[in-house]
A and B are shown apart, each in its own frame.
Chain A
Amino acid sequence: MSFWHEAIPFLIQQYPWVIPVIALLFPLAAVGKGFATALDAWQKGLQQDFDRDSQRYQQLLEQRNMFEALYRAEVKAHAECRRLLAQHTVDKQLPPPL
């Protein structure tokens, strides 16, 4: 005879209240499962919010960089334009005023 073959009848006879106590563990486990499911849903929601917000943030950064590059290109074009204008202006070639 193994240990459990003797221990289980002994336990049942000496402590019969362990049976409803064990039975109580089942609905309690279901309560725990419910809380775990709720917590899981909440964490998933947080993660979704974070993903969505981080995506939006990345989009804003990319937009900012794009507009900055556009601005720099425009500044460069203006400077080039001014340089060419200065080069080809005839006023510069006139003699100084008397």
Chain B
Amino acid sequence: MLRTARSYIQILIHKEHWWAEMWSGLMLATFGGTCFFMEPYSLVRASSTHNYFVLLPNGFWQILLLLVGLFQIVALFGGQRWPRGAAAFLAAFFYAWTTCSELAYSTGLHPIVLFTAGWVGVNMFAISRVVSGLR
């Protein structure tokens, strides 16, 4: 029991970035899924999701975000290097899109920008790790 707990803690420590990407995927899928069931009017009004409506039909971009988040989780469980990098690329793109939309359509700096920018950074680090072949 104690050994299992210790090995689990070691996995947690050694797979630190795995968990960061897992949370990124979970957050993206949750965001997409939540936005799917929200009123489109409030999403158009929200500056972080306004730009999606300008370029993509409602319903489509929510499913896209949901699928990208799920793809990231599946790629993490798959353990393959390049699917994980592709998932991180897509997640970084969508988080950056949300961040840029928030920055473009709002006045001042809303603190949510720091949150989404943090996920952009996490996914960018994951991409650079995959491309450079480190660990």
Contact = CB atoms under 8 A, between A and B. Distances in A.
Contacts, number: 75
Interface string A30-54: 1101110110010000000000000
A24 B97 CA distance: 8
A23 B132 contact: no
Given A30-B125, A38-B132, A20 B89 contact: no
A34 B129 contact: yes
A17 B56 CA distance: 11
B36 to A, nearest CB: 20
B127 A19 contact: no
Interface residues of B, number: 28
> B interface, by DSSP: helix, strand, loop or mixed?
helix
B72 interface: no
Interface residues of A, number: 20
Interface in B40-66: 51, 54-55
A7 interface: no
B92 A35 contact: no
Contact of B124 (A19, A26, A35, A41): A26
Interface stretch (B4-12, B18-26, B98-106): B98-106
B105 A23 contact: no
B129 A27 contact: no
A27 B93 contact: yes
B127 A27 contact: yes
B93 A23 contact: yes
Contact of B55 (A16, A34, A38): A16
A35 to B, nearest CB: 6
B51 A19 contact: yes
Contacts of B104: 8, 12, 19
Nearest to A38: B132
Contact of A34 (B90, B97, B105, B132): B132
23 contacts: A8-B104, A12-B105, A16-B54, A17-B55, A20-B55, A20-B93, A23-B93, A23-B97, A24-B96, A26-B93, A26-B120, A27-B88, A27-B90, A30-B89, A30-B124, A31-B89, A31-B131, A33-B124, A33-B131, A33-B132, A34-B127, A34-B128, A38-B133
